[in-house]
A and B are shown apart, each in its own frame.
Chain A
């Protein structure tokens, strides 16, 4: 029904540019009549749900070499091509060791078959993807092409809503994760190893839109104090962002259970979720605050357990 109505009469043309410049030029020429497409899983739900109009032209970016694969960057850190599938991220041992909150976030996006097709680029470029809180706490940067290469901190990009508009024609090329100094995390998060974690709550156990997502990362000094604390939250239609007030409460401190009520309050006060008919803003704030407090409580319990 829906299929006949739309597809028989107005199937989009597909363009296969050979390089980033060609892809960008096509988008510039067609404007809002074209969309960059890699896996297209999110776009399909938008088209069918009439959230977005299906464009007349699809620009296939999967074969652009700079957009593929996970690699160690020359200047240190890791570069993830925008067309890397969520499944590839989930399977990457390198990412699991150094940036474990990212594969954990990805595991909770879509379902197994969706992750085989959907890409990190699409999740990021949507501006609301569930991978974003994890990328925020690792201080990720985004490498865009807009006639020339542009590099921007993901936190800064998310704060500029006009930059999230897909009709602007900028092409996301890579997600860059900075080197985490001696950052191979142990499964228990024990000792002085850096710590990071990601949690998502949805209305079902799996394959569900998020109600709230949180990510936390921190380094640890030799005497067990947390440093470079990052806390971020998102979920649903919210644009994910850092929770600076909660971060500063933890910075330089040991993860002490006595701090948790203050941190809980700071998360509730500063998180800016978007409510809908299923889950209002207050509920989402409370959920995010509970997740942050629960993870920090586990961290403190783990530390105490070792003493």
Chain B
């Protein structure tokens, strides 16, 4: 087998992607975590840092519309992707219906898990506007809340479904 290594060079520190609709070009090393790219390179701090191993969902963002833990994804894995963070879902001063539902139904207390919750629910309702309870549970299985309790969060999801009708 020929050693091809000399023909290849490691990936460069240039990341191009769209964040909340805006094109970004960032000099981030390719194995930087997406979470760090979003919070430190771009300065959007609504994406929360917590467990850092994909267990809690506080850093959930949408990559091309699908929920992904930003602490797990590395910059090179989202090259060219469309990223949506919690800052990108309201229309001007008008909250997104999922945000409104969490607010109206008391779907949060401390609020640390809420951006991730909201994005997981948004992705769910975008692909399945009238989901079953099982679908809701599956969609939120990677988002942990340690203070509100899931009753309020379930109510918020139900309310978001109604608002979307």
Contacts and interface: CB of A to CB of B under 8 A. Distances in A.
Partners in one complex: yes
A113 B1 contact: no
Given A15-B10, A44-B53, A48-B53, A117 B68 contact: yes
Given A11-B32, A112-B67, A112-B139, A25 B4 contact: yes
Which of under 10, 10 to 19, 20 to 34, or 35 or more describes the interface residues of A? 35 or more
A49 B77 CA distance: 22
B137 interface: yes
B72 A117 contact: yes
Given A112-B138, A114-B142, A3 B67 contact: no
B107 interface: no
Contact of B3 (A29, A57, A60): A29
A60 B77 CA distance: 9
A22 B139 contact: no
A2 interface: yes
Contacts of B63: 116
A112 B31 contact: no
Interface string A30-45: 0000000001110011
Given A22-B4, A41-B72, A117-B73, A112 B53 contact: no
B72 A112 contact: no
A44 B73 CA distance: 9
A75 interface: no
Nearest to A38: B77
A147 B1 contact: yes
B29 interface: yes
B32 A41 contact: no
Which of under 10, 10 to 19, 20 to 34, or 35 or more describes the interface residues of B? 35 or more
Contact of A7 (B33, B49, B143): B33
B2 interface: yes
A34 to B, nearest CB: 10
B142 A13 contact: no
Contacts of A26: 4-5, 8
Contacts of A22: 4, 7-8
Interface in B56-86: 57, 60, 63, 66-69, 71-74, 76-77
Contacts of B137: 206
Interface in A111-148: 111-114, 116-117, 147
B120 A60 contact: no
Given A17-B8, A112-B138, A114-B69, A40 B53 contact: no
Interface string B26-46: 000111110110000000000
A113 B31 contact: no
Given A14-B30, A17-B8, A110 B142 contact: yes
A107 to B, nearest CB: 8
Contact of B8 (A15, A45, A48, A117): A15
Contact of B52 (A3, A17, A28): A3
A87 B65 CA distance: 14
Interface of B: 1-5, 7-8, 10-11, 29-33, 35-36, 49, 52-55, 57, 60, 63, 66-69, 71-74, 76-77, 120, 137-143
Interface of A: 2-3, 7, 11-18, 21-22, 24-26, 28-29, 39-41, 44-45, 48-49, 57-58, 60, 62, 87, 107, 110-114, 116-117, 147, 206-207
The 9 A-B residue pairs with the shortest CB-CB distance, nearest first, are A111-B142, A13-B10, A14-B30, A113-B67, A14-B11, A206-B141, A111-B141, A22-B4, A11-B29
